[in-house]
Amino acid sequence: MCGILGQINYLSSIVDKESFTKALDLQSHRGPDYGDIFQCEKIIFGHRRLSIIDLDVEAKQPMTSQCGNYVLVFNGEIYNYLELKEELIQKGYQFVTQSDTEVLLKSFIEYGIACIEKLIGMFAFAIFDKKRETTYIVRDRLGIKPLYYYKDDNKFIFSSEIKSILALSGKQEFNRDAVSSYLAFRYPILNDTFFKNIFSLAPAYYITVQNKRVSFTEYWNVSEKFKEQKQDQGEAYYISRLKELMDSSVKLRMRSDVPLGSFLSGGVDSSIITALMAKNSQKKVKTFTIGFQEEGFNEFEFAHMLADKYETDHKEIIIASDNYIETMELLIGYKDAPLSVPNEVPLYLMSKELKKDITVVLSGEGADEIFGGYGRIFRSPYDYERIKNIDKLSLSNEEKESLCKNFIKKYCRDSFQNEIDHFMNIYSYTSIDERKKLLSRTIDIEHLEVELQEKFLSYFNELEDDSYYNKLLYVFEKVHLLGLLHRVDTTTMAASVEARVPFVDHRLVEFAFSIPIQYKLKWIKERPAFLMSDQLSEEYDTPKYLLKKAYEDIIPKEILYRKKMGFPVPLNHWFKGGFNSYARKKLLSTKAKDRDLYNTEEIEKVLSSKNIQTNHSLAMKIWMLVNLELFLEKYFDEE
C-alpha cells in the first residue's frame, strides 16, 4: 500500500526532479517508510512506500526489471502473489525479493497487459516499457485503489492523490459542475473531480500512453454474470459456494508481514470477517470499534458480543464532538475533496488510534451492494411495480386507495414515467428541487441533471432485459461502492494504515451477481399490499438473506437479524449547539456570498429553523455545504 506519481512528457525531455520530489512527498502519509524516484528521458515515476509485504529495502519501488526494460510503480496488494510466483518459477523465472511487486512486474513481462486478468487484489499501477516507449496505467476492477490523471498538450500526469497533480500541473480551476453531483450522490459520479481537467480513472480500465497517443481500455465487466441467475442452483449450492469464496477472500487478505486486525462495528459484515479471521488465525485477532460520548451513538454492545465469542483483543475508541470540526478540516486536506458523510471523521480517528497496534485492517465495505443490504432502497422496485400495474392487482378498492395514498406520501407524486425516473427519486440524496433552493441560479442544475441521469441510464441499458432489482444492484456496485471505497482509502491512508475489503474480491462479486434476487431479499411473512418498501423492509423480509443464513452457525442471531443501522453520528445534537454558529460563520460570510455558489437566503432560513435540530436529512445537507466551503477555502482562496 503506497502512493504513486508519474509524469510522461510528450515533447520536452526535461522533468524538474526537485519539483517532482516535492509533489511526491505530499503523499508521505500514504508511504512513510520510504520514497524513491526513477527518471529517464521524458519519463519520471515516484513512489512512497508503506511496507506490508517483504519489508526489506530490496523490495522498494520504483522497481526496474533485471533486463532494464520495464519499470513499475504500484499501489495496493496482489493477494494471490504466492500462487502467481510459483507459476512463474515453473516457467523459469527467478526472484530476488519476497514481494508481490516483483511478482506483478514479472507477470507483466511474461503475459503483457493481459496479466491483470490473473490478479486477485486491489491495485493502481503503471508499467513503462522502454523498447516500445509505452506506459500502461491500470486501476483495479472495482476501484478499491484511487487513480487520478491530468493531460494537456505537453504532458500526462497520474497519481494516487490529486494534491500531487496540482503541484505539477499549475493553477487549477474549480469544477462547479461537480457540486450538483456531490449534493445528490455525495461525490462527483462522472469520473470527474472538483478540479477542472483532473479525472478519476474508472475501475476496470487501463490507459495506454504511447508518444502523444492516449487510449482507454475496459478489461473487465461483471454485467454478464446476471444472465446466470436464470439457472437457479438452489439455496444449498449458493450458501456452500459463498462460504468457500468468503473463506478464500479473508485468508488471502490476512497475508501480511506486519500486524493486522479488523474493524468491528457490531454489524453483520464486520462480524463475519472477524469470525473468519479468528478461524484462520493462530493468534488473537485485534479488533477495534468506535463511538461517540453522546448516549445512543455507538454499537459497543454488539461489537462486544462478537469480540467475547471469539476472544479477540478488543479496543473501544470513544471520541468527543469538541475536536470534530478541527479533524474535519484536516481530513479535507487529505481527501482533496469535501467529505461525503460525517462518519469519515471517526473512521480517521479510529485509524490513527489503531495504527499504534496494527498497520493492516480488514473492513466490511461492499457486502450491501452485492447481497441486497440497503433494504428500503433495494425493495423499492416492489413499490414501482405495484403502482405501475395497480389495475391488474387483485386488491379491493379500499386497498388500492391505501396503496395510492402511501405511494404519494412516500414519493410526493402518484406515478413515474419509467424505472430510471423512479430510481433518481429514491437515490438522489438531495432532490433537484432542494438543490435549486440551496444553490445559486448560476449553476445549470437542469442540464447537469440530464448528464447525471444519462450516466445511470447507461448502466440500466447494460441490463436492458433484466429485472429492475438487478439494475439497482448493478448501479450500486458501479457507483455507490466507489464512494465508500474512496472514504475508507482516505481515512485509513491518512493515518498510514492499509484497509483491505474482503467483500470486494472480484470473484465474490461475480458469484454474487449470479445469485437470483429471491436469495438476497427474502419475504418471511405475508405482507400488506398497501405498505411501501420502507415500511416492509426488515419487518416482512430479510435483506442479505443468503449471507445471514450462511453464517448462522458462527454469528449470534442478535447480530445477524437486528435492524440495519448506519454509522451513528450525533449531527442533529450538534446543530443545537456550536455547529450551528460554525455553519453560519462559514456559509453566510461575505467570502461565501461572493462565490455566487450558494443561495445564502435559503441557507440562513434553514439554519434559523428548529427543523435542523430534529431533521437529520436537513442537517446533513447543511453539513455537506459546510464541507464544500471548507474545501473551497483550502484549495481556491488566496493565502
Q: Is 157 helix (H, G, I), strand (E, B) or coil?
A: strand
End-to-end alpha-carbon separation of the chain, Å?
A: 33
Please state, in angstroms and as integers, the Cα–Cα distance from residue 421 to each residue in 185, 413, 431, 555, 561, following that order.
Answer: 16, 12, 12, 39, 32
d(CA 482, CA 202): 10
Query: Among candidates 296, 298, 314, which has minimal Cα distance to 306?
Result: 314
Q: Is 67 a catalytic residue?
A: no
d(CA 229, CA 90): 38
d(CA 9, CA 152): 10
Q: Which of 2, 40, 404, 412 is labelled catalytic?
A: 2
d(CA 519, CA 512): 10
**Cis ω for the linkage preceding 62 (within 30 of 0):** yes
Query: In the 8-state DSSP scheme, what is residue 323?
Result: G
Strands (E), 243-355: 260-263, 286-292, 313-319
638 backbone dihedrals φ, ψ, rounded to 5°: -65, 140
Q: Is 139 helix (H, G, I), strand (E, B) or coil?
A: strand
Report yes or no: 306 and 271 within 8 Å, Cβ to Cβ: yes
Query: Among candidates 258, 252, 5, 248, which has minimal Cα distance to 124?
Result: 5
b/e map of 227-246 (b: 16 or more CB within 10 Å)? eebeeeeebeebbebbbebb
d(CA 558, CA 547): 15
d(CA 98, CA 78): 12
Report yes or no: 53 and 29 within 8 Å, Cβ to Cβ: no
Q: Which amino acid is at 119?
A: L
Active site residues: 2
